Structure 1
Amino acid sequence: MKNILLYLLLFFTPLVYSQNSGGFGNSKNWSLNKHEIYFSIGTSQFLGDLGGLDKEGTQKSLVDLDFSSTRIGGGIGYRYRFHRRWATSTQLYFGMVSGADANTDEVIRRSRNLSFRSPILELSQRIEFIIYSKEQGGARYSRLGTKGRSTTADFFYVFSGISGFYFNPQTKINGSWTNLRPLKTEGQGLPGGQEEYGKFSMAIPMGVGFKFAIGKYWRLGLEISYNKTFTDYIDDVSTDYYDPAILAKSVGKDAVYAANPSIENHTWFTEGQQRGNPDDNDGYLFTNITVTRNITNSKSKGMSRSRWNGRTKF
């Protein structure tokens, strides 16, 4: 994903400056879109140790997306545009992510038979670079025999930033969703086991988006965000299988089952054998339709007709 963003930046930067026309350098039309609120709804997908395509794990990358585990998410945000090319946004987002080995025909994953779901409640702060923008205010009045000009606000942008999020992995045991963290499936906090993990972590969002005007104050768009996290336990899977006898004694039979629900080839999944891949942290992907409302103050909206009808394109 980082390589994709770098490529887009290198490709479009010459285009951006080559299209600087119409007295853009002195234009303030961008300030008519300075303050915005936006709403997002779309899909969320998990990139981790569970599920994936019909082959061995591919370092939790986009090529290993399991589309059958797609879930729904949505959020709300505020965007402040402080420069014609730059904006910053604060977003609160909620989504579900999930993964299941049963969705793949790769023999090792399928036999392992692990599964999970987890809510993701994320608060992010992003910086956006506007690669392309065409901005033109609609005419206030339609004269006799003429048609008023419609509002144009087309944007293409890339973004990154930092986010903090809450997660809580669960799996089904006897038909009921059960929290996995208290079950210590990899011996978290037990003798010879892994360190306990928390329910909060950080991530780096990276993505692209575009939007266009559907009215004087409204914009419709699409945004894709890949979120690289600093935890490998969104799915409760990271390292090796723990001693089931200690799990049974210290936690209980549900922990034994959740740690190793393998359905075949049981000798592959015993104490000390690999359960997950700790060399690469989990990630998740949001793909959203966005609806944006321009809330720039009335002073800006009341600028002279000549300026509002002016044009900015770059």
Structure 2
Amino acid sequence: MRSNAIKLAHIIAAALFLILFNPCIDANAQGRSKFGNRYVNPFGNLSITAGAGVAYYMGDLQDGVNMKHLGLGPSISVGALYRLTEHFSARGELRFYKISADQQYSKNFQNNLSFKTFNPDINLGIKADLFSFNRQAPVNPYLIGGIGFTLLNPKAEIDGAWHSLAPLTTEGVKYNRLPLVFTAGIGVSFKTTDRLSLGVELCNNFMNSDYLDDVSTVYPNPDQLSSDLARRLSDRAPEIGEPARQPGFSRGSAKSKDSYLFLQVRAAYLIGNRTEAKERKKTRCPKF
């Protein structure tokens, strides 16, 4: 899965290069505008956005794609687009996602680790449309790139209760719970009305942390953990009859950071710019 994520990043970079350096795309956008053959300055046009779909986890508790146990969860987003040029918009979003994983379905089942999490994140970035704003193309592929933060809150269940893992420092490490997230993705939008567009988007979110799942390096010395609960949730092998793990035994791998993938159905509604808003206000409230 990690190699697939790298391939996705390469594809996105190549497509972005095409958009940036192909001067032939919509070179005559003004002359072909569909706003009644009238050129509209794209700068400052504001759209509100929303998305809903699924989130997929990629990290230490997976060793491949198990179609029966993908650990998918919901993802939702709300945000805005602020048009900068014919092809580029600034983008900001607040997003929420839920993911999970359980090693009983992996090759490392003997470690018996599992987690679930419901996290918020905030992301700021750029959206690059293949076709220009004034062209008003009915189908418009695009790329996105961004940076933001997510709040980590992994939990695990034991004795019928769920416990937050980060405060327990199950690996003897107090990690940053607000890591940077770098986002890259592709999508396509379909114009349904003059103002409303619907579409589909796939994006990968690369964390600057390996603790999305509370698993990264090795088993700690249990005597250094803060409580019996921390010791039980750190080493869960004895629960399934496996011997307790020795300090230094591999619990995860810090070679690759964790990431999470979104596949969403998207909607964007064009509000317009300040000039259009003033004109609409004058129309609604004529002066006598």
TM-score normalised to the size of structure 2?
A: 0.82
Correspondence list, 1:57-76, <5 A: 68-76=70-78
1:198 aligns with 2:170: no
Rounded to whole Å, the distance in 1 between the matches of 2:227 and 2:248 is: 19
- What is the letter of the counterpart of residue 125 of structure 1? L
- The 5 Å alignment of 1:120-135 reads 120-133=119-132
2:152 pairs with 1:174:
no
Structure 2, unmatched stretches of 5+, are 1-7, 280-288
Question: d(CA) in 2 for partners of 1:66 and 1:207?
Answer: 26
How much has 1:210 moved relative to structure 2?
A: 1.4
Counterpart in the other structure of 2:230:
255
Is the CA contact (8 Å cut-off) linking 2:52 and 2:77 kept in structure 1? yes
Q: Deviations over 1:284-304 (max 9, x none)?
A: 11111111111004744899x
Greater alpha carbon shift after TM alignment, 33-42 vs 234-243 = 33-42
Counterpart-to-counterpart distance in 2, 1:86 and 1:156 = 12
Paired with 1:97 and 1:284, the residues of 2 have a C-alpha distance of: 8
2:85 maps to a residue whose letter is H
TM (norm. structure 1) is: 0.75
Out of 37, 41, 53, the position equivalent to 2:52 is 41
| Paired amino acid for 1:207 | G
1:119 and 1:294 mapped to 2: Cα distance?
30
Alpha-carbon distance change, 204 to 65 in structure 1, aligned in 2, over 3 angstroms:
farther
2:284 is matched with none
| CA pair 75-117 structure 1, distance change in 2 beyond 3 A | same
- Asked if residue 114 in structure 1 is aligned to residue 97 in structure 2, the reply is no
Q: Size of the alignment, in residue pairs?
A: 266
Pair 51,87 (structure 1): closer, same or farther in 2 beyond 3 Å: same
Give the superposition deviation at 1:45: 1.1
Per-residue deviation, 1:37: 0.2
**Alignment gaps of 5+ in structure 1:** 55-63, 138-151, 189-195, 304-314
Structure of higher CA gyration radius? 1
- After TM superposition, which residue ranges in structure 1, 4 or more long, deviate above 4 angstroms? 10-16, 21-27, 64-67, 133-137
Cα deviation, residue 25, structure 1: 8.8
Q: Kindly tell me: are residues 22 and 2 of structure 1, through their superposed partners in 2, closer, same or farther at Cα, counting changes over 3 Å?
A: closer
Amino acid of the residue matched to residue 155 of structure 1?
N
Residue equivalent to 1:233:
211
Which one scores higher on RCO, CA 8 angstroms, separation ≥ 6?
Answer: 1
Distance of aligned partners of 1:36 and 1:20 in 2 relative to their CA distance in 1, 3 Å threshold: same
Does 2:13 correspond to 1:6? yes
Deviates more, 1:276-285 or 1:127-136: 127-136
Contact 1:205/1:226 (8 A) holds in 2: yes
User: Could you tell me whether the CA contact under 8 Å between 1:45 and 1:67 is conserved in 2?
Assistant: no
SS of the residue 1:2 aligns to: helix
Tell me: CA distance 1:285–1:244, structure 2 relative to 1, closer, same or farther (3 Å).
same
Q: Percent identity?
A: 24
Could you say what the CA RMSD is over the residues aligned between the two structures, in angstroms? 2.9
Task: Answer yes or no: is the 8 Å Cα contact 1:232–1:278 preserved in 2.
Answer: yes
1:38 to partner: Cα distance: 0.7
User: Per the alignment, in what secondary structure is the counterpart of residue 241 of structure 1?
Assistant: coil
**CA displacement at 1:51 relative to structure 2:** 2.6
What are the superposed Cα offsets for residues 55-94 of structure 1, whole Å, 9 maximum, x if unpaired? xxxxxxxxx9986200001010110111001111110001
Asked whether the 8 Å contact 1:123–1:165 carries over to 2, the reply is yes
Q: 1:164 aligns with which of 149, 156, 160?
A: 149
8 Å Cα contact 2:26-2:132 kept in structure 1: no
